[in-house]
Structure 1
Amino acid sequence: MTIPTIAAVGTAVPGNPVGQDDIRNFAAALFREGLPHLERLMPVFENASIEKRYLAQPLEWYRMQHTFSEANTLYEQIAFDLSEKAALAALSKADINPGDIGAVLFVSSTGIATPTLDSKLIQRLGLSAHTKRLPLWGLGCAGGVTGLARAAELVTTTQKPVLLVAVELCSLTFQRNDFSKSNLVGSSIFGDGAAAVVLVPKQQGPAVLGSYSTLFPDTEDIMGWDMSDTGLKVRFSRDIPAIVREHLPDLLKQACTQWGIDQSQLSHFVAHPGGAKVLAAYSDSLGLAAEKLSGAYQVLRDYGNMSSASVLFVLDKFMSETLPTGEYGVMLALGPGFSAEQVLFQW
């Protein structure tokens, strides 16, 4: 029986690093004219546990309102460039010939392109014209874990290496004239970046052993996009940490039952760093010591929340810092739907 394994992870970020204090001051000036009691909301920047982020454009670009067409044109250009860099890094680290890739999964939720960018990526990287394609859109922050699960399944069916690419330019969705709390909170945490993973049908890294997906009925209002004349407008609820605390323990227990293991056997936790409060909810609800999520906190600190790509940055850090001992681990992420995604691995 083939057991898909993670051979390598590659990452890439745009060339516009910005400190959290600079973004805070910038946002304060923009929101002052339209958001009442702004001073009571501004601590969201200090409490985000973020020091730096990378943006698709220089900070001044966000001072003006831009059309959806303008922002999406930039998305197509920059997202493709970052996807190529991350994919090349992953292929090189895995020592995989691009022509051996059997399928490409492309995950993104912050821009639109048809044909999807994986079609250009296949040609630029020199992959076979017969490479299977599976673009996944709209999964938001859950996309990295979902994509990894589907990529592992494709490794099993094709018996070939599979390339997963997740790229998000969250900052290009910023709405200059949206004075909602959601837009302010989004500006306090979102960053841009891309990650690529090569999975192979042989023992070369962490083994992907199973996945578990959960959709919560009638929860569309918790997280997602609203479409406006100027583009994608962020929507999320302040109740997300409370939902994690209420439901995650049972969801993890259900997943472990399906996987045929006891929850006590889980030694590693690779979590999507959706925000400091979400990570705290993970720790509290699962009874985890802080060091169990140290990789997620470090990625949040250095990059912010890059939606689907973030958890793959955490995976990259985990693989580079953790020696294989044969222990079980779980990858965790939440996304629009409202949904939860879990992947079991062994390393």
Structure 2
Amino acid sequence: MISKIISTSTATPEYRYNSGEIIEHIKKWVKNQPESYQKKVVKIFEGAQIDQKYSILPIEKIFSPMTFEEKNNHYINAVIDLGAKVLDDALKKADLEAKDIDYIITTSCTGYMIPSFDAYLINGFNFKQDIQRLPVTEMGCAGGAAGLIYADHFLKAYPYKNVAVISVEIPSITFQYNDFSIDNVVGSAVFADGAACAILGPTTKFAPEIIDTQMHHFSNTTDILGFNLTNSGFKVVLSEKVPDKIIEYFENTMVPFLARNNLAIKDVNNLIFHPGGKRITLMIQDFMNEFGKELTESKEIMRLYGNMSSATVLFILDRFLNKNIRPDDYGLILGFGPGFAAQSLLLRWH
């Protein structure tokens, strides 16, 4: 049997707010700022093209002062709860039990805990005691794609084993109440909470196989994307250079990646791209228009959920696993994250 992506699952926390509700709270937050600044902030939220977002806390709590300790305690409780939900669902879809999993990979960059949340899942699900663990904590939005790459590497060495990749992100608690910088505004306009899981292993079912993977590091770009750790929690860093770096990747790195598999962009029908934000999505779509390709699912996930960091690409992948894909169709997973780095996976359905 060939190792494939057997199942996926997604989950969101209990609180859901539409863009209008969020903007009303933003207006209250900036009411004592200069009028020109208030208009700019509202314009950023209106232009994000996100209809709704989910959060682990009521919106009144999000837009209030919280200590780092308080935020992080909320994070710990939420990642364990949401991680358990998506893992349980994905196992059921794959017709597997926890004892069947040999390797657990978890990705999360929006809080801090030792031990990482995989340890709690291992106890809660009674995994076997010799299970291998890999918590991925500093790869940001690229974490979900990177987790799949690490799973693929493991399965190439141990083709009859099973892997669970679990991504849980709680960006809502990274909002800085006393920080009126544009980075903080853009981060709160774009990011949202969510969780997803993928199970990989040997199967005869029709599913995507990972054909090839690639990690690409952009030299001297550590300052363009990430978090700074402050006394009030994680402070987002978002440089205007990010979109240009992404387009640079498409032109100089993705094309050769496909070429080494005797493919071109025109041959790939299923694009599973992390959308990032409006500007990034538009730039990628402009590039793809030349080849008649659409980022339909990426745009839709962004519109309905926002940017859930490492979990986002798994949300998009879940959509494709529930579509009628033609046999031998190719797919391309792409995620970007701090470093600055890009993670790519080539899939083939069969």
Quote how far apart the aligned CAs of 1:261 are: 3.1
What is the aligned counterpart of 2:251 among 249, 255, 275?
249
Alignment partners' CA distance in 1, 2:101 and 2:290: 37
Paired position in structure 1 for 2:180: 179
Does residue 234 in structure 1 map to residue 233 in structure 2? no
Alignment partners' CA distance in 1, 2:224 and 2:324: 35
Alignment partners' CA distance in 1, 2:117 and 2:335: 24
Does residue 323 in structure 1 map to residue 322 in structure 2? no
Number of residues of Structure 1 aligned to a counterpart in Structure 2: 346
Paired position in structure 2 for 1:27: 26
Q: Give the fraction of aligned pairs with identical amino acids, expressed as a percent.
A: 32
The letter of the residue matching 1:48 is A
Paired position in structure 1 for 2:304: 302
Residues 290, 40 of structure 1: alpha-carbon distance in 2 compared, 3 angstrom cutoff: farther
Alignment partners' CA distance in 2, 1:287 and 1:242: 17
The letter of the residue matching 2:229 is M
What is the aligned counterpart of 2:336 among 327, 330, 334?
334
Q: What's the C-alpha RMSD, in Å, of the aligned pairs?
A: 1.7
Query: Superposed, which structure 2 residues align to 1:20-59 within 5 Å?
Result: 20-34=19-33, 37-59=37-59
Alignment partners' CA distance in 1, 2:249 and 2:310: 21
The letter of the residue matching 2:29 is L
Residues 226, 132 of structure 1: alpha-carbon distance in 2 compared, 3 angstrom cutoff: same
Alignment partners' CA distance in 1, 2:174 and 2:261: 38
Extract unaligned runs of 5+ from structure 2.
none
Does residue 284 in structure 1 map to residue 283 in structure 2? no
Alignment partners' CA distance in 1, 2:296 and 2:23: 24
Alignment partners' CA distance in 2, 1:56 and 1:328: 36
Structure 1 range deviating more: 278-287 or 292-301? 278-287
Q: What SS does the aligned partner of 1:217 have?
A: coil
TM-score normalised over the length of structure 1:
0.95
Does residue 72 in structure 1 map to residue 67 in structure 2? no
Query: Superposed, which structure 2 residues align to 1:78-97 within 5 Å?
Result: 78-97=78-97
Extract unaligned runs of 5+ from structure 1.
none
TM-score normalised over the length of structure 2:
0.94
Paired position in structure 2 for 1:314: 316
Quote how far apart the aligned CAs of 1:179 are: 0.6
Does residue 206 in structure 1 map to residue 208 in structure 2? yes
The letter of the residue matching 1:206 is P
Alignment partners' CA distance in 2, 1:288 and 1:129: 51
| Deviation readout 1:253-303 (Å, 9 max, x if unpaired) | 121134343443222110112112211111112336787311111111111
Alignment partners' CA distance in 1, 2:49 and 2:290: 18
| Deviation readout 1:59-91 (Å, 9 max, x if unpaired) | 000232111111111111011100000001100
